Amino acid sequence: MPGFFRMRLLRTLRGWLPQYRENLSLAVPVMLSQVGQVVVQLFDNAMVGRLGALPLAAVSFGGAVFVIFLFWGTGLSMGLTPLVGEMYARRDYRSSARLLQNALTLYGGVGIVLFAILWVLGDFLGSMGQSPEVAELARPYYGYLAWSVVPFMLFAAFKQFLEGIGNTITGMVVVLTANGVNILFNYLLIYGHWGFPEMGAAGAGLATLISRICMPLFTLGYFLSVPSLRRYFLFFAWIAQGWRTTRRLLAVGLPISMQMVLEVSAFALTLIMMGWIGTVPLAAHQVVLSLSNIVYMVVVGISAATTIMVSHRYGAGDYRGMRRAALASWHLGIVANLLTMACFVAFRRFLPELFTSDRAVIGVAAQLFLMAALYQIPDGLQTIALGVLRGMQDVRITMYYAFVSYIVINLPVGYFCAFILGWGAPGLWVGFIVGLCIAAFLLIRRYRRLYRRLTLD
C-alpha cells in the first residue's frame, strides 16, 4: 500500500512539473528583482545600523513614511501588466504600445505629484509620535527618498510592460545592477570613503536616489537596443495619447494601489506604534521586517508570475489552464512559506546579529521572528490570490477586502494586544497574523466564485 501511494504521488508530481517549471521561469526573475528593490532598504538598514540604534531607528522611520507612497505608485503601475498581457495574448501590438505610451505619461505625472506630497509631508515628521532625535535624523534621508520617486515611476512603466509580454528577466537585471550602484554609493557616502563626504544616514538616502535615477535610463537603453521592443516606439503618436487608455490604466491600477497602500499602511502605522513602545523595540521590529520583506519577495515573485500567466490564459479564454497555473502557484508558495517558517524559528537569535550588536535589540528581535514565522502561510496564500485576481482584472473588490483586513481588523487587534493586554512588541504582530488570515480567506473565496462563474457561462 505505501508503494502504491508513492507511485501515485510521483505520477501526480510528474504531471505538475511542466506547470511548476513555467511558473518558476517567470517567477524567479521577478523574485530577484523584487528582492533587489527591498534590498535597497535592507542595505540602508544594515550599513546605517553599524552607526548605532538611533541612526537605524531614524532610517526605519523615514523609510516607513516614504514606503506608503512608493507602494501606492508601484500598485498603480501594476495595472499595466494584466492589460498588456491580455493584448499580447491576442497579438495586438499596437494596443500594447498605446498602453505603454499612456503609462509613461501617467506614471511620470504621478511621480511628480507624489514627490510634491512627500516634500510637504517632510515638515511634519516631528509630529508623528517619534522622539525628536529620531525625527531630526530621519529628515535628510527621507528628503532624498522623496526625490527618487519620479525616476522610479518611469522605470515601473517599462518594467510592468515587459512583464506583461512575459519578459521578467530584464527588470531583474536592471534592479540588481542598480543595487550594485546603491551599495557602492552607500559605502562611499555613509562612511566617507575615497574622498566622499561622511554623510551618515543621509548618505544612504542619496545613494538610493542615484541608483533609482539609473534604473529608467538602463531600461530605456535596453528598449532602444532590441528591435522587437523598439518597434513599440514606432506606434507612439499624439493620437494614441488619450483619456480612454489612461482611464483603463487607472481602472485596474488604482484599486491595486489602494489595496497595497492599505496593507503597507498597516505595517507603517504598526512601526509608528512600535516607536511608542521605545527605540529598542522599533529597531528590533525593523530588523525582523527587513528580513521578512526579503523572503516575502519569493511569494511576490510567484504572484507576479501568476498574474502574467493568468492574464495570457484569460485573454485566450483558456480558463482550465488559468486554474492550473493558479493552483501550481499556491503549491509553490506554501513550500516557500514552510521553509521560511523553519528558518525564522531555527535562526531567530542569529539573524538579528547580521544587523546590530546591541544585545537588547537582538533579544526583542528573536521574539518577533517567532511571530513573523506564524504569519507566513496566510501571507503567502493571500499574496498569490491577489496575483490571480489581478490577472483576471478583478481588482476593485480587493481594495475593500484590504480595508477590512488591515484597517478594521489588523490595527485595532494589534493595538489591543500590545497596549491594552500589555503584550508589547509581539502584541502588535498578532494584529498582522489575524488580518492576513482574514485577507487570505476573503480573496480565495472570491477567486473560487469567479472561476465557477466563468466555467458555467
Tens-digit pLDDT profile for residues 285-333? 888 887 887 788 888 889 988 988 888 888 778 888 889 889 999 999 9
Which pLDDT belongs to residue 28? 82
**For residue 149, what pLDDT is reported?**
93
- Stretch 120-132: mean pLDDT: 76
| pLDDT tens track for 61-76 | 787 778 778 878 888 8
Domain annotation covers residue 25? no
Number of domains in the chain: 2
Which three cell numbers, joined as nine digits, stand for 250?
487607472
pLDDT reported for residue 12: 63
Separation CA 388–CA 311 (nearest Å): 9
- The Cα–Cα gap between 108 and 157 comes to 9
Last residue of a domain, one of 218, 241, 264: 241
pLDDT at residue 36 is higher than 50: yes
Say if residue 214 is in the same domain as residue 340.
no
Measured CA to CA, the distance from residue 186 to residue 204 in angstroms comes to 5
Let me know whether 272 and 306 are in one domain.
yes
Instruction: Share the mean pLDDT of the chain.
Output: 85
Look at residue 139 and tell me if it is in a domain. yes
Same domain flag for 260 and 393: yes
Same domain for 306 and 340: yes
Residue 446 φ then ψ, to 5°: -65, -45
Q: Which of 358-362, 396-400, 445-449 has the lowest mean pLDDT?
A: 358-362
Has residue 5 got a pLDDT over 60?
Answer: no
Residue where the block lists cell 491600477: 253
Which helix (H) or strand (E) segment is 346 a member of?
A: helix 319-346
192 or 158, greater pLDDT:
158
Lowest mean per-residue pLDDT among 238-242, 344-348, 414-418: 238-242
220, pLDDT greater than 90: yes
Distance between CA atoms of 269 and 277, rounded to whole angstroms? Answer: 13
Residue 237's closest CA among 105, 124, 342? 105
Residue 382 lies in a domain: yes
Closest CA to 25 of 434, 219, 248, 301: 301
Three-state secondary-structure class, residue 326: helix
Instruction: State whether 180 and 302 are in the same domain.
Output: no
Band (1; pLDDT cuts 50, 70, 90): very low
Domain region containing 330: 255-457
Does the pLDDT of residue 10 top 80, yes or no? no
Give the mean model confidence (pLDDT) for residues 234-238.
75
CA distances from 73 to 101, 107, 254, 258, 298 (A): 17, 8, 9, 10, 21
Q: CB of 329 within 8 A of CB of 23?
A: yes
Residue 20 lies in a domain: no
Across 17-27, b (16+ Cβ under 10 Å) vs e yields eebbeebbebb
Q: Is the pLDDT of residue 277 over 60?
A: yes
User: Bigger pLDDT: 142 or 136?
Assistant: 142
Do 261 and 232 share a structural domain?
no
Q: How confident is the model at residue 13 (pLDDT cuts 50, 70, 90)?
A: low
User: Is the pLDDT confidence value at 145 over 50?
Assistant: yes
The reply to whether 167 and 262 lie within a common domain is no
pTM of the model: 0.78
Identify whether 61 is part of a domain: yes
Joined grid coordinates for residue 65: 513614511
Residue 281 has pLDDT above 80, yes or no: yes
**Residue at 26 is within a domain:** no
Task: Say if residue 191 is in the same domain as residue 266.
Answer: no
Instruction: Tell me how far the alpha carbon of residue 83 is from its chain's centroid.
Output: 20
Which residue type does 301 have? G
